[in-house]
Each structure stands twice: as structure tokens, then as C-alpha cells.
Structure 1
Amino acid sequence: MAGPGLVAHMTEALPRMLADLETLVSCESPSADLDAVAASADVVAEVGTARLGVRPERIVIEGRTHLRWRLGDAPRRVLLLGHHDTVWPIGSLLSHPFSIVDGLIRGPGCFDMKAGLVMAFHAAAALPDPSGVTILVTGDEEMGSPTSRRLVEEEASGCAAALVLEASADGGALKTGRKGVSLYEVAVRGRAAHAGLEPERGVNATVELAHQVLAVSALPDPGRGTTVTPTLLTSGNTTNTVPDAGRFAVDVRVRDVAEQSRVDRAMRALRAVLPGSRLEIGGGPNRPPLERDASAALFARAVAVAGRLGMPEPVGVAVGGASDGNLTAGVGTPTLDGLGAVGGGAHADDEHVFVAELPRRSALLAALTADLLAGPPLTDARQATESSGPLQADRP
């Protein structure tokens, strides 16, 4: 099945896709709730098994539940990657029930990214021979993949390509680049004293934190797209005491590894300003950047496949947010992200998916997967960049 016939097939399957998506969305799965994620894994396993005809491996790491389908006996070649955990707490369905109104699907996690899981199952099921395809569905991506990181990296390192089912960028754009993420905590130790009677005997952690926040705020490089943002800050315990301890978090986003290393060196080089205070710097690089060289050849293939399907030429954009696509690219696997649902409102009250785009998007995923299974090796990234479709500027 190829060309427009594949789009027609996915259009015919749309009622089943919508039913599957309602089933997934109706099982709430906030990342921090281990029981909820385990229950969601059961539901995802049932939906996937019904479409693929084979049950997944259930992988539990530190209480967090992940699923893996390795289809057929051929060597692993294409990884379809997604997650079933969401940012929505239990009870969100009461205020954000699953619905389909005026062509929009709504419900917690529909866009980020349970629609992408449905697409993966239906796309793989549409392949004449899915042998060589792995579908990996993790349960802690929204927390930064603390237990699934190694699983993702090991699975990707054995594949020729990773296709990430995170939701699309604005207008359905594919994600050809993602910033790398570093996360730090700057902790200050001072000395307590009575704020009214003898403040001079104290070492004020709040004042030291102020010096350090200003130092960290000087590290961004807007010209290179590097952001270094102090975020959550706490200090002291009572209003009449010179605080003896405090801390703040730092969120770093970078386009390239060189910038990630520069910021890391600068964070490690921070020094206390007030006599008697001490600093402790924790954290570091969390996810490497997904640089465009890692996606260029795959994006070029997607453009060619879309043309054969009679679909508009895809647009590729670089975005600031991170995903497990950063991890697959970090181990050297060609990676294309944002192949999931078209819609908007991720993590927000207006989260939604466009019904009409599900068949076309699923057809593109199936055709690209088939092309990678049967086609020649990926072309050189520099050649692909020159010949591929339009790449737009960075998005948040």
C-alpha cells in the first residue's frame, strides 16, 4: 500500500483511531503517580496489542512502567518513540473530559502525546511487513526520563533511525532541532543570627543568593540562542532570622554542545561573595541538543515521502523544548521529531488535536517507516540539508 491509497486507508481507520485515543486519554497518567502510570501502561498495552497482534514487553524500572514492542525477526532498524505519562493530575478529566467537537479533540494528554501513540500503532499495523520496527513507549518522559533514559539510548543505538511521536510544532511543522537542556541547583550555606538584635553576626544566605542570581543571569548568549534562567528560589525559615541556607534552580537551553559545555564550566566556576558563605553546585547537562545535522537526512526523506503521498511539503523548525529525541540524537542515531499529532495547547487548558490531520499524519509516518525499512541508507546530512524542504527559524 503506497501513495494516496495509504491516506485513504488511514482515513477509513479514523473511527478506530478516535476510539483508541479516547481509551488512552480516559486513563489518567500523571508522571509522579506510579500506580496511575502502571494502570495506563496496561491500557496502552491492550490498545497496542489489538492493533499489532503481539503483546509488548513490560519493563519496570524503579517502579516506573515502560513498554516495548520489537516487531518481527529482522534486525532493528526503525525506532518509533513515545511516552504515555502526562503532566495532568488525577481528576483532570472532570474539568477537561475527552470530547470531539467541531473537528477538535480535547482531553488531558491528547496532544502531548497520546495521539502520537495511536498513530504509531496504526502506522505500524499498516506496514506490509513491520519486521525491524521497535515501538518504545516510556512512562516518565515528562519528568526528564530519569528511569527510561538508558532504555531509550540503548534502543536507539541499535537502530538506523528514530522517529519521535511528540506532537508537531505550530502548523504541523516537523521538529528538526531541539535545544539541549542543563539543570542546576545552586545551594548557599551561611550563618544564622537574630535579624533585629545582632544581624552583623550572621552570614546572610539571601544576600549571597542575590549575588549568585546576578552572576548566573549574565551567562546567556542570545546570539547563539543560549538561555540561562534562574527559576525557583527559597531562603530562610523565619522573618526575624538572618537566613543560614537557601537555594535556587537554573534552567539552561542551548543549541549546540559547545554552548552546553561553556555554561557548565561557568556554573562550576561560581564562587561565594560574602565572607563565611559557601556554595554547592549540583546538577549539570540533562539532555544533549538535537542538532539539525542529526535530522537533515531524515527530514529530506520525509519531504520526498510526502510528495509521493500527494501531501504538502513539510516544514521543519527548531524548537526550545526538549524530548527523548535529544537522547536518541545524543547517541548518534539520525532522529526526526514532531511526527505526532497536529494541534496545540500542550500542558494547557486548551490542549487539542485536529481530527482531520490524524489520517494524513499517520500515513506520512507509515510511509516514512516503510521507506526506511526498504530504502537505501540515509544520505549525508550536509547533502540532505541542501536538498530538503524549507527550514524555519527557532520556535519556543
Structure 2
Amino acid sequence: MPVDTTAAVERLMQFLAVPGITGEEAGIAKEIQRALKAAGVPAKAVAFDDAHARIPLPTQTGNLIVKLPGTLKGAPRLLFMTHMDTVPLCAGAKPKLVGKQIVNDASGAALGGDNRTGCAVLVTLAAELLARGLPHPPLTLLFTVREESGLFGARHLDPAALAGPDGGPVMGFNFDGRAAADVIVGAVGADRWEVEIHGKAAHAGVAPEKGVSATMILALALAEVRAGGWFGKVVKDGSEGTSNVGPVGGADGRCAGDATNVVTDYVHVKGESRSHDPKFVRQITTAYKDAFANAAAAVVDHEGKPGKVKFTTRADYHPFRIKDNTPVVARASAAVSKLGMTPNLRTTNGGLDANWMVKHGIPTVTFGAGQNDIHTVKEWVDLPEFEKALELAVELATGTAK
């Protein structure tokens, strides 16, 4: 019996129309609860965790967790997951069905297929299992918060919250991407770093030598990083990664510097380092740290006193690579093949909730569900690919029961 794609597309259209940018997921969480209830999921099976209490940014609600008892005796629990939030550009989206695509009828906004497609896949999975009485192992459905702003929901998840009376999930399947046949088995790790550059103000026209320019420290540091090959795509001795310098500003989000006739005394910089090799991530970050220290020492006032820098860093998420012969990859590949597609095992240079699930001890692979041109005003959803993801989710949940 085929999946009820008409009902699934209707769910997706409804989810896309509900605002829920990162950190403000209460509205979409309520809509998902409503859809789960309509699909026959009992209220007692749906709960929220308290991850939002540990997330260091204002977050309306915790992760939404659904636990479905299995019909197969002794079968291990499986995890299906996605994230509820969208990037801020999706605020005000108006989904419109055009042929085999969903597009945005609101100008200047992204659609939010990343990741309302995943939300619709998980709710449809529950609906199909209950409506058709399909045999399946115990399942946990996880809808995370604040994925787009730093994978915070998955990071601050207590894995014990996913367990049922039969134990916790032994493997996970994350829906977040474009093609259903793509089996993402690995992803980069990333450091987020920031620098506070303290210079010394002086009149730039009367006595510039009495000042220490925080702007010049920034310029020298970035010049050293680039000259050393540590900016952008980084390739060193067989290791590869990337880095970027992001926001540059002053105190309290203002612009750096007060006026052209004042030597700038403070600059705040944020950046990132990424690699599939955790050691190389640290090497890239260290190159930035050393460059800022060198630059601060090189810019001095008339008395030879240098500027100062405060460099701080945190691991945003850890890299992972699941081996091809593991049970989760085998199950994923078999399900994709069963649907007449060729599994495309690959890694990605972007972070995923799966990074943290693997860190939590649950090997998790990621599939696409029809997202295209995400995080842009040209975003659209490929419905044939979305429908493949629906079928794939059902196959993953029931495949070994046949």
C-alpha cells in the first residue's frame, strides 16, 4: 500500500505556513502536536524535554519527543529525527503549490523547507504506521530546537530522554537535506572562536602615535592568516579544512570605532574553523589565535606599549564518520535499495544534529527530503523527492519486519 502522499503534502504546506525561526519554535511545536493527535498518536506519548533550560540563548521550548511502542517483540528501539526551526529569513513564508514543487509566494523570504520537510516526514511516518497497522520496532521521534543557530537542541539533549521501557535507540535516522538516496555518514567538526581586541584611543590627527589601533591589529592578524594559507579552504600536509571570519564590530553590537579622527580602541571579531579531522580543526583555530597575538604585540604606542587580545573558542560540534559496515549504514542502504534507488554514501562539510547524536552514542545517518536552495529567497521543495523520503522512512521503520 503506497504512502498517503496527499495527506503528507497537506501537512507540509501547513507546517511551512507556521512561523518558527530558530529559538522561537513554540508555534510550530504546537502545530506538530496537533498533527500527531490527528494521526492517532496518544497525548501521553508526546512530551518536551528541558534542553531549552540549558541552551545559552533564549529558547521558547525544549525538544519535542514522541515514543511509540513497538509491535515486534524484542526488537531494538529506533530513532527518527529532524529539527523544527528555520533560519530567520523564513519569517513570513507563504507556501504555494505549483505542479510538483512548493514555492514561496512571499517576496523577500525563504520558504522553510529546511526543515519542515523533515517534520512532515516524521509525522507522516507515525500516521502511516498507525493507520495501516504496520509491524515495527519501538520508535522514538525527535524534533529538535535551535539546529540552525548552532545545533543546540541536539547538543543539550539528555540521551536518556529518548529511551523507552525497552531501552534507548540503537541507531538513528535524521531527515535534513535534498536527496532521499543520499546517506550522509559523516560530517565536519567546527570550532567557533571570537576575539576581543583592546587598543588605545588617541586623537588620530593630533597624536596618533599615542594610540594603539585595534583595527590595525585586526588587519595584521588577518594578513598573517591569509599569508599562511589558513583562510578559506585550508590544505596542509594532507589535511583539509575551512575557516572564515564572520561579524566584525564594536561593543554592544555597534560599529567598531567612534570616528575617523579617533584611533579605534576596541574591535570584536567572530569566526569559525572546520575539518573532518578534529586535530586539524584545532590547528586552524590555533593559527588564528597566534596571528592575533603576534599582531597585538606588533602594534604599539609611543611608549612601546602594545595592544591586547582575548581569544576564546569552543567546540561547536564534533566531526564523525560512521563506517560503511555498521548496522545503521547497512539498514539505511538496504532501505534505499529496496525503493529502487542507489544509496549514495557521502560526507558533508556542514554540521548536522547527527554530529551530536553520534557524540551521544547513537550512530545516526542523514537523508534528504526534497529541500532545494535552502536559506535563500529562491528556496523550493521538490515533491517527488519529498515523497521518496516518506516511503524511505516507512521502509526504515518496517523493513526488517517483512
TM over 0.5: yes
Q: Residue 310 of structure 2 is aligned with which of 277, 280, 297?
A: 280
Q: Residue 53 of structure 1 is aligned with which of 23, 35, 41?
A: 41
Q: Residue 199 of structure 1 is aligned with which of 168, 185, 208?
A: 208
- Judging changes above 3 Å, is the alpha-carbon distance between structure 1 residues 152 and 260 closer, same or farther for their aligned structure 2 residues? farther
**Secondary structure of the corresponding residue to residue 152 of structure 2:** coil
- Judging changes above 3 Å, is the alpha-carbon distance between structure 1 residues 351 and 46 closer, same or farther for their aligned structure 2 residues? same
Displacement of 1:230 after TM fit? 1.6
**Secondary structure of the corresponding residue to residue 151 of structure 2:** coil
Alignment-derived partner of residue 173 in structure 2? 163
1:152–1:328 CA contact under 8 A, matched in 2: no
Displacement of 1:296 after TM fit? 5.7
Residue type of the alignment partner of 1:118:
A
**Cα distance in structure 2, aligned partners of 1:159 and 1:268:** 40
- Judging changes above 3 Å, is the alpha-carbon distance between structure 1 residues 76 and 351 closer, same or farther for their aligned structure 2 residues? farther
Could you tell which deviates more after superposition, 217-226 or 244-253?
217-226
Alignment of 1:1-396 (within 5 A): 5=1, 9-10=2-3, 13-32=4-23, 34=24, 37-55=25-43, 56-59=46-49, 61-62=52-53, 63-65=59-61, 66-72=63-69, 77-89=77-89, 92-93=92-93, 97-107=94-104, 108-127=110-129, 128-151=134-157, 158-168=168-178, 173-217=182-226, 218=228, 219=230, 221-222=234-235, 223-234=238-249, 235-270=256-291, 271=293, 272-273=296-297, 274-275=299-300, 276-293=306-323, 297-309=327-339, 311-337=340-366, 339-371=367-399
- Judging changes above 3 Å, is the alpha-carbon distance between structure 1 residues 359 and 179 closer, same or farther for their aligned structure 2 residues? same
Displacement of 1:109 after TM fit? 4.4
Q: Once the two structures are superposed, what CA deviation does each residue of 1:303-325 show, in whole Å capped at 9, x if it has no partner?
A: 2223333x121212222111111
Aligned-residue CA RMSD (Å):
2.7
Displacement of 1:190 after TM fit? 0.8
**Secondary structure of the corresponding residue to residue 142 of structure 1:** coil
Superposition TM-score, scaled by structure 2 size: 0.80
2:78–2:137 CA contact under 8 A, matched in 1: no
Alignment-derived partner of residue 394 in structure 1? none
Count of aligned residue pairs for this structure pair:
356
- Judging changes above 3 Å, is the alpha-carbon distance between structure 1 residues 29 and 355 closer, same or farther for their aligned structure 2 residues? same
Residue type of the alignment partner of 2:186:
G
2:137–2:397 CA contact under 8 A, matched in 1: no
**Cα distance in structure 1, aligned partners of 2:284 and 2:76:** 36
Gapped regions of structure 1 (runs ≥ 5): 376-396
- Judging changes above 3 Å, is the alpha-carbon distance between structure 1 residues 154 and 255 closer, same or farther for their aligned structure 2 residues? farther
**Cα distance in structure 2, aligned partners of 1:100 and 1:199:** 62
Displacement of 1:349 after TM fit? 1.5
1:190–1:202 CA contact under 8 A, matched in 2: yes
Superposition TM-score, scaled by structure 1 size: 0.81
**Cα distance in structure 1, aligned partners of 2:181 and 2:242:** 25
2:83–2:115 CA contact under 8 A, matched in 1: yes
1:172–1:343 CA contact under 8 A, matched in 2: no
Task: State the percentage of identical aligned residues.
Answer: 23
**Cα distance in structure 2, aligned partners of 1:123 and 1:150:** 25
Displacement of 1:139 after TM fit? 2.1
**Cα distance in structure 2, aligned partners of 1:241 and 1:250:** 26
- Judging changes above 3 Å, is the alpha-carbon distance between structure 1 residues 347 and 22 closer, same or farther for their aligned structure 2 residues? same
Displacement of 1:360 after TM fit? 2.4
Displacement of 1:160 after TM fit? 1.1
- Judging changes above 3 Å, is the alpha-carbon distance between structure 1 residues 322 and 345 closer, same or farther for their aligned structure 2 residues? same
**Secondary structure of the corresponding residue to residue 250 of structure 1:** strand
1:153–1:327 CA contact under 8 A, matched in 2: no
Residue type of the alignment partner of 2:355:
N
**Cα distance in structure 2, aligned partners of 1:288 and 1:153:** 17
1:264–1:284 CA contact under 8 A, matched in 2: no
Q: Once the two structures are superposed, what CA deviation does each residue of 1:128-158 show, in whole Å capped at 9, x if it has no partner?
A: 2455211111221111133552216555793
Could you tell which deviates more after superposition, 258-267 or 320-329?
258-267
**Cα distance in structure 2, aligned partners of 1:281 and 1:162:** 36
**Cα distance in structure 1, aligned partners of 2:355 and 2:393:** 19
Residue type of the alignment partner of 2:83:
H
Gapped regions of structure 2 (runs ≥ 5): 54-58, 105-109, 250-255, 301-305
Q: Once the two structures are superposed, what CA deviation does each residue of 1:304-358 show, in whole Å capped at 9, x if it has no partner?
A: 223333x121212222111111111223322111x24124111112211222233
2:86–2:112 CA contact under 8 A, matched in 1: no
**Secondary structure of the corresponding residue to residue 49 of structure 2:** strand
- Judging changes above 3 Å, is the alpha-carbon distance between structure 1 residues 105 and 282 closer, same or farther for their aligned structure 2 residues? same
